[in-house]
Chains A and B, each alone.
Chain A
Amino acid sequence: MAEFFHMGGYGLYVWGSYGVVAVFLALELIFLARRKQALLERLTALREMEEDKS
Protein backbone atom coordinates (compact mmCIF):
# COMPACT_ATOMS: atom_id res chain seq x y z
CA MET A 1 0.00 0.00 0.00
CA ALA A 2 2.81 2.41 0.93
CA GLU A 3 4.42 1.49 -2.35
CA PHE A 4 1.22 2.45 -4.16
CA PHE A 5 1.19 5.92 -2.60
CA HIS A 6 4.90 6.28 -3.28
CA MET A 7 4.26 5.93 -7.06
CA GLY A 8 7.87 5.07 -7.77
CA GLY A 9 9.03 8.35 -6.25
CA TYR A 10 6.51 10.45 -8.15
CA GLY A 11 3.85 10.38 -5.40
CA LEU A 12 3.81 14.16 -4.92
CA TYR A 13 3.20 14.77 -8.61
CA VAL A 14 0.69 11.98 -9.24
CA TRP A 15 -1.38 12.71 -6.11
CA GLY A 16 -0.96 16.46 -6.54
CA SER A 17 -2.63 16.05 -9.94
CA TYR A 18 -5.38 13.57 -9.07
CA GLY A 19 -6.15 15.35 -5.79
CA VAL A 20 -6.55 18.81 -7.26
CA VAL A 21 -8.70 17.48 -10.13
CA ALA A 22 -10.95 15.65 -7.64
CA VAL A 23 -11.27 18.70 -5.37
CA PHE A 24 -12.09 21.11 -8.22
CA LEU A 25 -14.68 18.84 -9.82
CA ALA A 26 -16.33 18.09 -6.47
CA LEU A 27 -16.35 21.79 -5.51
CA GLU A 28 -17.98 22.77 -8.78
CA LEU A 29 -20.79 20.27 -8.16
CA ILE A 30 -21.26 21.44 -4.56
CA PHE A 31 -21.40 25.11 -5.59
CA LEU A 32 -23.94 24.31 -8.30
CA ALA A 33 -26.16 22.35 -5.92
CA ARG A 34 -26.07 25.20 -3.42
CA ARG A 35 -26.73 27.79 -6.11
CA LYS A 36 -29.83 25.88 -7.21
CA GLN A 37 -31.11 25.53 -3.64
CA ALA A 38 -30.59 29.21 -2.82
CA LEU A 39 -32.20 30.24 -6.09
CA LEU A 40 -35.31 28.13 -5.51
CA GLU A 41 -35.71 29.54 -2.01
CA ARG A 42 -35.27 33.13 -3.19
CA LEU A 43 -37.68 32.74 -6.10
CA THR A 44 -40.30 31.03 -3.91
CA ALA A 45 -40.07 33.82 -1.35
CA LEU A 46 -40.38 36.45 -4.12
CA ARG A 47 -43.43 34.72 -5.52
CA GLU A 48 -45.12 34.51 -2.16
CA MET A 49 -44.50 38.23 -1.62
CA GLU A 50 -46.00 39.02 -5.03
CA GLU A 51 -49.03 36.84 -4.34
CA ASP A 52 -49.58 38.53 -0.98
CA LYS A 53 -49.65 41.90 -2.71
CA SER A 54 -52.23 40.94 -5.32
Chain B
Amino acid sequence: MAIHWTKYSAPSAFYPMAGRSLPWLAAGTLLLTAVGVYMGLFSAPTDYKQGEAYRIMFIHVPAAWMSMWLYIVMAAYAGLGLVYNTRMAHMLAAATAPTGAIFAFLALWTGAFWGRPMWGAWWVWDARLTSELILFFLYLGVMALRAAIDDRQRADRASALLALVGVVNVPIIYFSVKWWNTLHQGATIDFSGSKMDRSMLWPMLILTVAFWLYSFVTIFLRARCEILERERHAEWVGELLDNRG
Protein backbone atom coordinates (compact mmCIF):
# COMPACT_ATOMS: atom_id res chain seq x y z
CA MET B 1 0.00 0.00 0.00
CA ALA B 2 1.38 3.35 -0.97
CA ILE B 3 1.15 5.83 1.83
CA HIS B 4 1.53 9.41 0.72
CA TRP B 5 3.82 10.64 3.45
CA THR B 6 4.14 14.06 1.90
CA LYS B 7 0.40 14.47 2.43
CA TYR B 8 1.00 14.70 6.17
CA SER B 9 3.56 17.45 5.77
CA ALA B 10 0.48 19.69 5.60
CA PRO B 11 -0.59 20.61 9.16
CA SER B 12 -4.25 20.47 8.08
CA ALA B 13 -3.78 16.80 7.14
CA PHE B 14 -1.49 15.88 10.02
CA TYR B 15 -3.82 17.24 12.72
CA PRO B 16 -6.81 14.94 12.05
CA MET B 17 -4.57 11.95 11.23
CA ALA B 18 -2.84 12.32 14.62
CA GLY B 19 -6.22 12.74 16.30
CA ARG B 20 -7.55 9.54 14.77
CA SER B 21 -4.42 7.54 15.70
CA LEU B 22 -4.22 8.74 19.30
CA PRO B 23 -6.83 6.39 20.86
CA TRP B 24 -5.14 3.36 19.24
CA LEU B 25 -1.66 4.47 20.24
CA ALA B 26 -2.81 5.16 23.79
CA ALA B 27 -4.54 1.76 24.04
CA GLY B 28 -1.41 0.02 22.74
CA THR B 29 0.78 1.90 25.21
CA LEU B 30 -1.42 0.94 28.15
CA LEU B 31 -1.69 -2.70 27.12
CA LEU B 32 2.01 -3.22 26.45
CA THR B 33 3.06 -1.31 29.57
CA ALA B 34 0.79 -3.49 31.71
CA VAL B 35 2.08 -6.71 30.09
CA GLY B 36 5.72 -5.59 30.20
CA VAL B 37 5.63 -4.44 33.83
CA TYR B 38 3.81 -7.61 34.88
CA MET B 39 6.38 -9.81 33.14
CA GLY B 40 9.27 -7.72 34.43
CA LEU B 41 8.20 -7.69 38.06
CA PHE B 42 6.39 -11.01 38.41
CA SER B 43 7.17 -13.62 35.78
CA ALA B 44 10.82 -12.85 34.97
CA PRO B 45 13.12 -14.97 37.15
CA THR B 46 15.63 -13.60 39.63
CA ASP B 47 19.07 -13.00 38.12
CA TYR B 48 21.84 -15.39 39.17
CA LYS B 49 24.18 -12.58 40.14
CA GLN B 50 22.23 -9.38 40.63
CA GLY B 51 19.19 -10.81 42.38
CA GLU B 52 16.07 -8.66 42.12
CA ALA B 53 17.97 -5.41 41.48
CA TYR B 54 18.40 -6.28 37.79
CA ARG B 55 14.63 -5.68 37.30
CA ILE B 56 15.50 -1.98 36.98
CA MET B 57 16.95 -2.94 33.61
CA PHE B 58 13.45 -3.52 32.18
CA ILE B 59 12.79 0.23 32.29
CA HIS B 60 16.37 1.55 32.25
CA VAL B 61 17.30 0.06 28.90
CA PRO B 62 14.07 1.06 27.06
CA ALA B 63 14.34 4.61 28.46
CA ALA B 64 17.98 4.87 27.36
CA TRP B 65 17.20 3.47 23.89
CA MET B 66 14.30 5.89 23.48
CA SER B 67 16.42 8.85 24.57
CA MET B 68 18.87 8.06 21.76
CA TRP B 69 16.27 7.09 19.16
CA LEU B 70 14.14 10.20 19.75
CA TYR B 71 17.25 12.36 19.34
CA ILE B 72 17.81 10.80 15.91
CA VAL B 73 14.12 11.37 15.08
CA MET B 74 14.33 14.99 16.25
CA ALA B 75 17.51 15.61 14.24
CA ALA B 76 15.92 14.00 11.16
CA TYR B 77 12.90 16.31 11.40
CA ALA B 78 15.23 19.25 12.00
CA GLY B 79 17.17 18.32 8.86
CA LEU B 80 13.97 17.94 6.82
CA GLY B 81 12.81 21.30 8.10
CA LEU B 82 16.06 23.00 7.15
CA VAL B 83 16.28 21.43 3.70
CA TYR B 84 12.65 21.57 2.57
CA ASN B 85 11.62 24.48 4.76
CA THR B 86 8.46 22.71 5.88
CA ARG B 87 6.68 23.97 8.99
CA MET B 88 5.38 20.54 9.95
CA ALA B 89 8.91 19.08 10.21
CA HIS B 90 9.99 21.87 12.56
CA MET B 91 6.84 21.43 14.63
CA LEU B 92 7.54 17.70 14.95
CA ALA B 93 11.15 18.39 15.94
CA ALA B 94 9.87 20.77 18.62
CA ALA B 95 7.33 18.16 19.75
CA THR B 96 9.97 15.42 20.05
CA ALA B 97 12.52 17.23 22.24
CA PRO B 98 10.67 17.27 25.61
CA THR B 99 9.81 13.55 25.49
CA GLY B 100 13.39 12.75 24.52
CA ALA B 101 14.66 14.87 27.41
CA ILE B 102 12.37 13.03 29.83
CA PHE B 103 13.64 9.65 28.65
CA ALA B 104 17.26 10.82 28.92
CA PHE B 105 16.59 11.98 32.47
CA LEU B 106 14.84 8.71 33.35
CA ALA B 107 17.72 6.68 31.89
CA LEU B 108 20.13 8.60 34.14
CA TRP B 109 17.84 8.32 37.16
CA THR B 110 17.16 4.59 36.87
CA GLY B 111 20.84 4.08 36.09
CA ALA B 112 21.78 5.78 39.35
CA PHE B 113 19.30 3.62 41.25
CA TRP B 114 20.76 0.54 39.63
CA GLY B 115 24.40 1.60 39.95
CA ARG B 116 24.20 2.38 43.66
CA PRO B 117 23.41 -1.19 44.82
CA MET B 118 25.38 -3.00 42.08
CA TRP B 119 28.49 -0.90 41.48
CA GLY B 120 28.52 0.91 44.81
CA ALA B 121 28.11 4.37 43.28
CA TRP B 122 25.15 6.52 42.18
CA TRP B 123 27.30 8.16 39.55
CA VAL B 124 30.73 7.83 37.95
CA TRP B 125 32.29 9.95 35.21
CA ASP B 126 32.83 7.14 32.74
CA ALA B 127 32.36 7.61 29.01
CA ARG B 128 28.89 5.99 28.86
CA LEU B 129 27.34 7.98 31.72
CA THR B 130 28.99 11.24 30.70
CA SER B 131 27.86 11.00 27.07
CA GLU B 132 24.28 10.22 28.17
CA LEU B 133 24.37 13.28 30.45
CA ILE B 134 25.52 15.35 27.48
CA LEU B 135 22.54 13.99 25.51
CA PHE B 136 20.23 15.26 28.26
CA PHE B 137 21.89 18.71 28.15
CA LEU B 138 21.63 18.75 24.35
CA TYR B 139 17.86 18.23 24.58
CA LEU B 140 17.64 21.07 27.13
CA GLY B 141 19.84 23.26 24.91
CA VAL B 142 17.65 22.65 21.84
CA MET B 143 14.51 23.45 23.85
CA ALA B 144 16.01 26.56 25.48
CA LEU B 145 17.29 27.89 22.18
CA ARG B 146 13.85 27.50 20.61
CA ALA B 147 12.19 29.20 23.56
CA ALA B 148 14.72 32.05 23.58
CA ILE B 149 14.06 33.29 20.04
CA ASP B 150 10.73 35.02 19.48
CA ASP B 151 10.79 34.87 15.71
CA ARG B 152 9.38 31.42 14.86
CA GLN B 153 11.39 30.87 11.69
CA ARG B 154 14.66 31.85 13.28
CA ALA B 155 13.89 29.75 16.35
CA ASP B 156 13.15 26.77 14.09
CA ARG B 157 16.38 27.15 12.17
CA ALA B 158 18.66 27.82 15.13
CA SER B 159 17.37 24.88 17.16
CA ALA B 160 17.44 22.63 14.09
CA LEU B 161 21.10 23.46 13.61
CA LEU B 162 21.96 22.64 17.22
CA ALA B 163 19.93 19.40 17.01
CA LEU B 164 21.87 18.37 13.89
CA VAL B 165 25.27 19.18 15.36
CA GLY B 166 24.43 17.24 18.52
CA VAL B 167 23.59 14.05 16.65
CA VAL B 168 27.29 13.04 16.65
CA ASN B 169 26.82 12.33 20.36
CA VAL B 170 24.43 9.42 19.68
CA PRO B 171 27.01 7.00 18.19
CA ILE B 172 29.43 8.13 20.90
CA ILE B 173 26.95 6.97 23.56
CA TYR B 174 26.32 3.69 21.78
CA PHE B 175 29.96 2.78 21.17
CA SER B 176 31.39 4.34 24.36
CA VAL B 177 31.45 0.95 26.11
CA LYS B 178 33.50 -0.51 23.24
CA TRP B 179 35.84 2.37 22.61
CA TRP B 180 36.89 3.09 26.17
CA ASN B 181 37.27 1.40 29.52
CA THR B 182 34.01 2.11 31.30
CA LEU B 183 32.42 1.00 34.54
CA HIS B 184 29.20 0.52 32.57
CA GLN B 185 29.00 -3.00 31.16
CA GLY B 186 28.97 -3.67 27.44
CA ALA B 187 25.91 -4.13 25.27
CA THR B 188 23.74 -7.13 26.17
CA ILE B 189 22.04 -7.02 22.80
CA ASP B 190 24.07 -6.33 19.71
CA PHE B 191 24.14 -7.53 16.14
CA SER B 192 25.59 -10.89 17.17
CA GLY B 193 22.62 -11.66 19.42
CA SER B 194 21.63 -11.36 23.06
CA LYS B 195 23.42 -12.37 26.26
CA MET B 196 20.22 -12.62 28.23
CA ASP B 197 17.81 -15.40 29.02
CA ARG B 198 14.65 -15.27 26.88
CA SER B 199 12.42 -14.96 29.94
CA MET B 200 14.23 -11.68 30.70
CA LEU B 201 14.53 -10.50 27.12
CA TRP B 202 10.79 -10.40 26.44
CA PRO B 203 9.72 -7.91 29.13
CA MET B 204 12.54 -5.58 28.05
CA LEU B 205 11.53 -5.72 24.38
CA ILE B 206 7.84 -5.31 25.20
CA LEU B 207 8.52 -2.27 27.37
CA THR B 208 10.69 -0.82 24.61
CA VAL B 209 7.73 -0.99 22.21
CA ALA B 210 5.49 0.42 24.97
CA PHE B 211 7.81 3.41 25.49
CA TRP B 212 7.96 3.90 21.74
CA LEU B 213 4.16 3.97 21.46
CA TYR B 214 4.11 6.33 24.46
CA SER B 215 6.47 8.63 22.56
CA PHE B 216 4.08 8.62 19.60
CA VAL B 217 1.24 9.61 21.95
CA THR B 218 3.08 12.54 23.58
CA ILE B 219 4.67 13.72 20.33
CA PHE B 220 1.32 13.64 18.49
CA LEU B 221 -0.39 15.46 21.38
CA ARG B 222 2.34 18.09 21.47
CA ALA B 223 2.42 18.44 17.68
CA ARG B 224 -1.35 19.07 17.68
CA CYS B 225 -0.86 21.87 20.20
CA GLU B 226 1.98 23.32 18.09
CA ILE B 227 -0.25 23.22 15.00
CA LEU B 228 -3.14 24.99 16.75
CA GLU B 229 -0.81 27.70 18.03
CA ARG B 230 0.96 28.35 14.77
CA GLU B 231 -1.93 27.87 12.35
CA ARG B 232 -4.63 29.59 14.38
CA HIS B 233 -5.35 32.00 11.53
CA ALA B 234 -5.89 29.19 9.03
CA GLU B 235 -9.45 28.68 7.90
CA TRP B 236 -9.60 25.02 8.93
CA VAL B 237 -8.54 25.86 12.49
CA GLY B 238 -11.30 28.48 12.66
CA GLU B 239 -13.86 25.92 11.54
CA LEU B 240 -12.50 23.44 14.06
CA LEU B 241 -12.89 25.98 16.86
CA ASP B 242 -16.41 26.92 15.74
CA ASN B 243 -17.44 23.27 15.70
CA ARG B 244 -16.29 22.89 19.29
CA GLY B 245 -19.43 24.84 20.15
List residues of chain A with CB under 8 Å of any chain B CB: 4, 7-10, 13-14, 16-18, 20-21, 24-25, 28-29, 32-33, 35-36, 39-40, 43-44, 46-47
Contact = CB atoms under 8 A, between A and B. Distances in A.
Interface of B: 37, 41, 46, 51-53, 55-56, 59-60, 63, 98-99, 102, 105-106, 109-110, 113-114, 116-117, 214, 217-218, 221-222, 224-225, 228-229, 232, 237-238, 241-242, 244
A25 B117 contact: no
B106 A7 contact: no
B195 to A, nearest CB: 22
A44 B244 CA distance: 8
A17 B59 contact: yes
Contacts of A16: 113
A21 B59 contact: yes
A4 B52 CA distance: 10
- Which one of A4, A10, A18, A40 has the greatest number of beta carbons of chain B within 10 Å? A10
A8 B53 contact: yes
Nearest to A27: B102
B232 A43 contact: yes
A40 B244 contact: yes
A13 B221 contact: no
Contacts of B53: 7-8, 10, 13-14
Nearest to A44: B241
A3 B160 CA distance: 50
A35 B117 CA distance: 39
Contacts of B98: 28
B217 A29 contact: yes
Given A13-B113, A24-B105, A35 B225 contact: yes
- Which one of A25, A33, A43 has the greatest number of beta carbons of chain B within 10 Å? A25
A14 B110 CA distance: 9
